[in-house]
Amino acid sequence: MNRKEKILIMGACGQIGTELTAALQLTYGVNNVIASDIKHSDKLPEGTLFETLDAMDVKQLLTIIKKHSVNQVYLLAALLSATAEKNPEFAWKLNMESLFNVLNLGKEKIIQKIYWPSSIAVFGPTTPRVNTPQFTIMEPSTVYGISKQAGERWCEYYFNKFNVDVRSLRYPGLISWKSEPGGGTTDYAIHIFHEAIKTKRYNCFLEENTTLPMMYMDDAIKATTQLMDAPFESVRIRSSYNLSAISFSPKEIFEEIKKHIPDFSISYLPDFRQKIAESWPATIDDNCARNDWDWNHSYKLTDIVDEMLKMLSNDLKKLF
């Protein structure tokens, strides 16, 4: 592993960023990881090097890159599916401009490696929903999905045209307890744990049988670092890799939580996010990731429920 890496994380205070910052600090050392975001969060590990950065401000970005001699960038700043529907123009601007800023730094050879997340949102209502293949019909119907699909095309273009070493994963819904989810359609799978512990009641914004692909954050971090550590030649897909762990519906996760909290109850009141969820795959075929760089997930639904309930209950005890 190259210990001379200097890494900048953009959008470091979000759901993925806070955990990825900690993971990269462990591997590369606290002084080689610079967290940045539009504003600081106390969720970042203590002692983290932090820079305030608007991901759309290319001048500010370049100043930070030069100041710290950064050679690798993880661009996590984005508006997610539900939030983007409320502010489409800004979502498009933020999601695309930030990507171009970073890809162009790769083109100019100012940075050597880029990570940029895509999502299951690149798929749409005309995509086969079961075992969705890596290469298939992609007609996303959300602003977020459109921006991720366009972004994937640009990543592949910059790789082919300018030899930019950009790597990407199509994350499913990510479940974590350390920080809040960021305005996505899959956020219910985190809210449900908080409400199960606090009030023993949950009103779900998706219908009970809406199955979506999901993953525990530890697996997502593992996949991300594995992809970034993989040899250049092994990363054969330069748009974005399908990535999968488990799939479940609100009813299935509710039943699993109920095994631990018998008087937990749920009601369903679907809102605009139901339509988004219905346009996405139920299960994903991620054989390319498994073959190209040995991806394998560790957490099953039962493991996730055990750990989420344990960690969130501990967190709550600390508060009172």
Measured from the CB atom, the residue of 82 and 105 that comes closer to ligand SER is: 82
Residues contacting ligand SER: total by CB under 6 A: 11
Task: Verify binding: residue 127, ligand SER, rule CB under 6 A.
Answer: no
The answer to whether the CB of 149 falls within 8 A of the CB of 138 is yes
Task: Verify binding: residue 173, ligand SER, rule CB under 6 A.
Answer: yes
For the question of residue 144 being annotated catalytic, the response is yes
Q: What is the DSSP letter of 130?
A: S
Task: Verify binding: residue 185, ligand SER, rule CB under 6 A.
Answer: yes
The answer to whether the CB of 6 falls within 8 A of the CB of 34 is yes
Q: Which stretch binds ligand SER (CB under 6 A): 60-68, 106-114, 184-192, 289-297?
A: 184-192
Tell how far CA 244 is from the center of its chain.
Answer: 12
- Least distance between ligand SER and beta carbon 275 (Å): 13
* Dist. CA 246–CA 258, nearest whole Å: 19
Q: Tokens in use for 309?
A: 């309930």
Q: Which stretch binds ligand SER (CB under 6 A): 26-34, 151-159, 182-190, 312-320?
A: 182-190
* Dist. CA 222–CA 228, nearest whole Å: 10
Of the candidates 116, 92, 114, the one whose C-alpha atom is nearest the C-alpha of residue 162 is 114
The answer to whether the CB of 99 falls within 8 A of the CB of 115 is no
Measured from the CB atom, the residue of 34 and 120 that comes closer to ligand SER is: 120
- Least distance between ligand SER and beta carbon 258 (Å): 24
> Catalytic one among 115, 144, 158, 241?
144
Q: Tokens in use for 70?
A: 């950064």
List, edge to edge, every strand of the sheet that includes 169-171.
Answer: 118-119, 169-171, 241-242
Tell how far CA 316 is from the center of its chain.
Answer: 25
- Least distance between ligand SER and beta carbon 62 (Å): 29
Please, which residues have CB within 8 angstroms of residue 168's CB and are 6 or more apart in sequence? Answer: 115, 116, 117, 118, 152, 155, 238, 239, 240, 241
Task: Verify binding: residue 171, ligand SER, rule CB under 6 A.
Answer: yes
Task: Verify binding: residue 240, ligand SER, rule CB under 6 A.
Answer: no
Task: Verify binding: residue 20, ligand SER, rule CB under 6 A.
Answer: no
Measured from the CB atom, the residue of 106 and 184 that comes closer to ligand SER is: 184
Task: Verify binding: residue 72, ligand SER, rule CB under 6 A.
Answer: no
- Of 105-124, binders to ligand SER (CB under 6 A) are 119-121
In the list 80, 103, 221, 235, the residue contacting ligand SER (rule: CB under 6 A) is: 80
Burial of 250 (0-12, 13-18, 19+ CB in 10 A): buried
Task: Verify binding: residue 224, ligand SER, rule CB under 6 A.
Answer: no
List of residues contacting ligand SER (CB under 6 A): 80-81, 119-121, 144, 171, 173, 184-186
Positions marked catalytic: 144
